[in-house]
Amino acid sequence: MYCNSTISSPTDRWVKADLRNEVEVAKLLKIYQPDVIFHLAALPSPRINEENPTLAEDTNVGITTNLVALSSKFAHIFFMSTDKVLNGEDLAPTEATVLEPVSLYGHLKARCESIISQHHRRYHILRFSTVHSFGDNRSNSFIDKSLIKLRQGEKVHAFDNISRCYLRIDQLLDVLASLMDDKQYGVYHLGSPLKTYYERIRDLCEEMGIAWRGNLLATDGDVVPQSQNLNTDKIKRLLNCVFT
């Protein structure tokens, strides 16, 4: 399912739809009757959310409301949430930590979580921070763009005062595949040990053999919260997985 993007090789299996539209969603759910729904549709940029509050509400909460209200109560829903439902004050927040988002995007995602958990029994809500690949030019991630630039010998300024728990796209896909048949529904935190953006990019460069010295430059950013850790013990216990 997609909305505005140009899918490079559209096949019969791609369906173009605006999921804010209740009638469209009802029609699609009637046709496909999914047992499993991977709900990724969102307006994910915190800045664009602040600048377009109505679009942000309609896209994040509106789509979630439609999917939840119109899908079978027995459908298994996977929802991609965010660490931005938290505020950074708890130094190792678990899934039970009280949500206190500090941005509109965080508030809207927290409302989506609540809508799903109140109306469906079979759900996995996955909270994570920045997802990245390894220098994929189709990715919007700052980390991917930085790896591409560094590989080309260009300079990159990366925040060394902002820390997050990062998620490799292949590790996210492994988790989703493993949870397909899992019945321990609920909220799960995903992500690597806490690192600054500078440290993350540096470590990936080391891993991938990309020269970074002299081109990767540490800088300070004005982002709230400065540090957002995630306690990932729950998913590690369940799947015996490791996030790197």
Ligand X SMILES: NC(=O)c1ccc[n+]([C@@H]2O[C@H](COP(=O)([O-])OP(=O)(O)OC[C@H]3O[C@@H](n4cnc5c(N)ncnc54)[C@H](OP(=O)(O)O)[C@@H]3O)[C@@H](O)[C@H]2O)c1
Q: Which residues bind ligand X (CB under 6 A)?
A: 2-5, 17-20, 40-42, 44, 59, 80, 82, 128, 130-131
CB of 62 to ligand X, least distance (A): 8
Cβ nearer to ligand X, comparing 169 with 239: 169
Structure tokens belonging to residue 65: 């409301």
Least distance to ligand X, CB of residue 98, Å: 20
Q: Nearer to ligand X by C-beta: 10 or 153?
A: 10
Least spacing, CB of residue 72 vs ligand X, in Å: 20
Amino acid in the structure at residue 157: H
Strands (DSSP E) contained in 41-170 are: 76-82, 123-128, 131-132, 156-159, 163-164, 167-168
Residue closer to ligand X, measured from CB, 48 or 239: 48
191: left (phi over 0), alpha (psi -120 to 50) or beta: left
Residue 129 in contact with residue 163, Cβ under 8 Å?
Answer: no
CB 165, CB 82: distance < 8 Å = no
Nearest residue (CB) to ligand X, 66 versus 216:
66
CB 16 to ligand X: min, Å: 8
The total number of residues shown for the chain amounts to 244
Residue 63 near residue 111, CB atoms below 8 Å: no
Supply the minimum distance, in Å, between the C-beta of residue 214 and ligand X. Answer: 28
Nearest residue (CB) to ligand X, 20 versus 107: 20
